[in-house]
Amino acid sequence: MAKLNAKEYQSFEDIKQTSENSGEYWLARDLQEVLQYTQWRNFHKVIDRAMLACKNSGNAVPDHFAETEKSVEMPSKPRKNEEQIGFAEVSKTKSIIDYKLTRYACYLIVQNGDPRKEVIALGQTYFAIQTRRAEVADAFNQLDENNKRLVVRGNIKQWNQLLAEAARNAGVITDEEFAIFQNAGYKGLYGGLTVADIHEKKGLKEKEKILDFMGSTELIANLFRISQTEEKLKLDQADSAAEANNIHYEVAEKIRKAMVEMGTTLPENLPTPEKSIQVIEREEIRKLRESKKPLMLDE
């Protein structure tokens, strides 16, 4: 996790607002600026994904993303003044969509933001202070298979960032070293199969990611592999790429052995879903949009 910068921390505090009825909240348009999204349409895609994550956590979307409106001034246009020679400046306003966001909503937004932005990582730290993912776990069993996949895949993205950081600290630096490190984990969990082997076994196209074509059971096994390897790398204070590779393989192999002892289906034998995570995400976001009630403006 990125180290918190005092200046950036304060920027999130500066845009926080309070009201007697709803307590603290943030406006999406303000958060957009702090998170350095220049265009609303791009930021709204992040909000859509955050809303979907909110729904999957068992929370009511309107409780955390309250749709509202904001008045903005349009560029002034000169209008000829009938009583005077010349022109007078005339300004107009228009209403645009905005959202009142809870701290949890902001947390979901930064979790779904562009990970290449440093401010996103800082936001994740800030909004995670009092926000936990217990809601996701509580509601997980209520979800259908597609939404379970979305939830676990989202968790894997975050844990993979932590794993990558732990691996770097251990000495896994170059792209080639990272590829070897990743293969070590997959080989341990999949009985010797590499990333390329699993990719071929699933019948995926060149740019398709194997994690995006896993069912929830297979994703959970990989989430356990990732989280436990990250923890083990820190506990053992691994200080070389070779040691990191061994730890990743051994952790994954132990998980596989536990699956064998329990008699559960091994990951390479689990079915490959027809739809990718991206397709499911688009479908669920469309359902969410279609279910939203229109904004009622004052007449």
| Arithmetic mean of pLDDT, 21-40 | 90
Q: Where are the domains of the chain?
A: 1-70+101-141, 143-299
Q: Show Cβ contacts of residue 262 under 8 Å, excluding neighbours closer than 6 positions.
A: none
Q: What is the pLDDT of residues 166-187, one digit of tens each?
A: 999 999 999 999 999 999 999 9
Q: Whole-angstrom Cα distance, residue 193 to residue 277?
A: 22
Reported pTM = 0.63
| Arithmetic mean of pLDDT, 184-196 | 97
114 to 35, 94, 102, 183: CA distances (angstroms)? 9, 30, 20, 26
Among 26-35, 55-64, 80-89, the range scoring the smallest mean pLDDT is 80-89
Report the percentage of the chain scoring pLDDT > 90: 63
Q: What is the pLDDT of residue 133?
A: 47
Comparison of pLDDT for 263 and 296, the residue scoring more: 263
Q: Whole-angstrom Cα distance, residue 56 to residue 59?
A: 7
74 to 90, 93, 94, 177, 201: CA distances (angstroms)? 10, 5, 7, 53, 56
**Angle, vertex CA 42, rays to CA 223 and CA 71, nearest 5:** 130
Q: What is the pLDDT of residue 75?
A: 64
**Angle, vertex CA 238, rays to CA 235 and CA 240, nearest 5:** 170
Closest residue by Cα to residue 196 from 295, 186, 188: 186
| Helical pair 277-291 and 145-170, crossing angle rounded to 10 deg | 130
Q: Whole-angstrom Cα distance, residue 249 to residue 180?
A: 11
Q: Does residue 21 have a pLDDT over 90?
A: no
Q: What is the pLDDT of residue 3?
A: 41
DSSP assignment of 106-172, as one string?
A: HHHHHHTS-TT-HHHHHHHHHHTSS--SHHHHHHHTTS-HHHHHHHHHHHHHHHHHHHHHHHHHHT-
| Arithmetic mean of pLDDT, 125-130 | 68
The single residue listed with the structure tokens 């499911």 is 280
The total of other beta-carbon atoms located within 10 Å of residue 237's CB is 9
Across the chain, mean pLDDT equals 86
Comparison of pLDDT for 209 and 90, the residue scoring more: 209
| Sign for the pseudo-dihedral over CA of 106, 153, 136, 122 | negative
